[in-house]
Amino acid sequence: MKRIVILGAGTGGTIMANLLRRRLRRADWAITIIDRDNEHYYQPGFLFIPFGFYTKKDIVKPRSKFLPRGVEFMVAEIDRINPAANEVVFQDGSSLSYDFLIVATGTDIVPAETPGMLDGWRDTIFDFYTPDGAAALAEKLKNFPGGTIVIHVNETPIKCPVAPLEFAFFCDWCLARHHRRDKIELVHVTPLPGAFTKPVASKALASLLEEKHVRMVTDFNAERVDAASRKLIGYDGREIPYDLLVTVPTNMGSEMIERSGMGNEFRYLPTDPNTLRSKKYENVFGIGDATDVPTSKAGSVAHFQSEILAENILRAIAGKPLEPAFDGHSNCFIEAGLGKAILLDFNYEVEPLPGRFPFPVVGPMPLLKPSRINHWGKLAFRWIYWHLLLRGHPIPFVPSRMKMAGKKRSGDDPAPGETK
């Protein structure tokens, strides 16, 4: 009996289990998926917990619920992968052999990477990238009397690169609704040279920050945190004081990847950006946040990668050459407050552009500007995630590879019926 082993039962791992089970004969291929727990969180929901819109309960379900029959699900801690021996070694010393391995172990925040950050952890320094972090921040915000809230990104890449901006927009809106906005200063501190590095989106997002009176400090690289005096201290000597620090600490891949000797400086698996095969091991593939491919770390990326990866696994099994089909496609709703959201759709080659999505003219979703329909799209997405996406069902009208249809580049002729 041959075996495919999937490490990680988050978004990417779960989709792959579903896609591959449907396409491989049970008599020939066993599929085993392994995770360290049985709690699947809908991570886009974390943003709403600090503001009281969701609790942890609203956004968690058992991982097993989304795994098909005929896939073995193990809850276990992995010590390391032994790629030379084609096996995975568990912490209890036992091992499991594989013919093909899919690394879907994601990425996580590592506050310890910044000296001093943990000194103020969950006291004046909070994250919203974990369920417990978001819940603790909700408590803090309820009673926060006023002062400066710094919304900080420590080091890139991070998963969901727009989430800190979303937090700023949403925080501004919620505070205003509760008549607390004037007592609070919001500052966004980032190592980037702007709100986003891609120029068109950066302008659009920066102007929204300005509109909402969120000050931006750019090109800031934190050397350490002085939790006692509540300051972020940069390598260049700049100091940013705060009363409350909402930070996205450095993101890194699983320590297991490092123990396996298979990761780069961030513990990500070096992966071919178009075939999704590991650069070093012929029978090892990667999906989602765990890879080093140069596109966003986002659930949508794992979704767009999945069909292409499934096809390539089948090709690898048949000894056929792989299709370098993945184009870096990423798609993202950014909550903007006021009942509106912004939609980005881009890939390796094309930055986020304005226009309409998924269809030219008809849309119905505008790209790169706030709209109510995008906000409803974001909220509806939770249902789509649980009921369609995780089970590997295609999302109508949105293919794996990004489409240029509906997008406007400066200098392009207007689409028929559109005025520029």
Closer by beta carbon to other proteins, 71 or else 165: 165
Region near other proteins per CB under 8 A, out of 3-11, 241-249, 264-272, 318-326: 264-272
Whether the CB-CB separation of 110 and 258 falls below 8 Å is answered with no
Closest CA relative to residue 240, chosen from 210, 219, 213: 219
Distance of closest approach, residue 219 Cβ to other proteins, in angstroms:
5
239 contacts other proteins (rule: CB under 8 A): no
Stretch that binds other proteins, among 61-69, 72-80, 217-225, 411-419 (CB under 8 A): 217-225
Candidate list 265, 349, 411, 417; residue touching other proteins; CB under 8 A: 265
- Backbone torsion region of residue 90, taken as left when φ is above 0, otherwise alpha when ψ lies between -120 and 50, otherwise beta: beta
Q: Does 241 bind other proteins (CB under 8 A)?
A: no
Draw the binding track, 346-385, toward other proteins (x: CB under 8 A; -: no contact). Answer: ----------------------------------------
- Among 114, 154, 295, 305, the residue binding other proteins under the rule CB under 8 A is 295
CB of 190 to other proteins, least distance (A): 8
Minimum distance of other proteins from residue 347's CB (angstroms): 10
Cβ nearer to other proteins, comparing 161 with 358? 161
> Which of 37, 123, 219, 282 lies at the binding interface for other proteins (CB under 8 A)?
219
Pairing of strands 251-253, 95-97: unpaired
Binders of other proteins in range 99-158 (CB under 8 A): 155-157
The distance of closest approach from Cβ of residue 192 to other proteins in the complex, given in angstroms and rounded to an integer, is 5
Instruction: Count the alpha carbons within 13 Å of 140 in the hemisphere toward its beta carbon.
Output: 21
Q: How is the beta sheet containing 222-226 ordered, strand by strand?
A: 222-226, 231-234, 239-241
* Interaction of residue 87 with other proteins, rule CB under 8 A: no
314 contacts: CB under 8 Å, gap ≥ 6: 23, 24
Q: Rounded distance, CA 255 to CA 11, Å?
A: 19
281 sits near other proteins (criterion: CB under 8 A): no
What value does the CA radius of gyration of the chain take, rounded to a whole number of Å? 22
Nearer to other proteins, 9 or 110 (CB): 110
CB crowding 85-112: b at 16 or more within 10 Å, else e: ebbbbeeeeeebebebbbbbbbbbbbbe
Binds other proteins by CB under 8 A, chosen from 53, 56, 259, 270: 270
User: Interface with other proteins includes 294 (CB under 8 A)?
Assistant: yes
Please tell me whether residue 28 binds other proteins under the rule CB under 8 A. Answer: no
Minimum CB separation from other proteins for residue 333, in Å?
Answer: 17
274 binds other proteins per the rule CB under 8 A: no
Judged by CB, which is closer to other proteins: 79, or 155? 155
The minimum distance between CB 295 and other proteins, in angstroms, equals 5
Q: Are 103 and 9 in contact (CB under 8 A)?
A: no
Binding test (CB under 8 A) with other proteins, winner from 98, 129, 196, 326: 196
User: Residue 411 interacts with other proteins (CB under 8 A)?
Assistant: no
Applying CB under 8 A, among 60, 192, 395, 398 the residue interacting with other proteins is 192
Taking the least distance from each CB to other proteins, the nearer of 94 and 197 is 197
Q: Amino acid identity, residue 71? A: V
Nearer CB in complex with other proteins: 86/251: 251
Nearer to other proteins, 77 or 219 (CB): 219
With respect to other proteins, which residue has the nearer C-beta, 157 or 366? 157
Min CB(402)–other proteins separation in Å: 14
Q: Which of 28, 236, 349, 413 binds other proteins (CB under 8 A)?
A: 236
Token reading at 411? 């200098």
The two tokens of residue 145 are: 């009397």
Q: Are 43 and 37 in contact, with CB atoms under 8 Å apart?
A: no
The answer to the question of residue 401 lying near other proteins (CB under 8 A) is no
Instruction: Enumerate binding residues for other proteins (CB under 8 A).
Output: 155-157, 161, 191-193, 196-197, 219, 221, 223, 235-236, 264-266, 270, 292, 294-296, 330
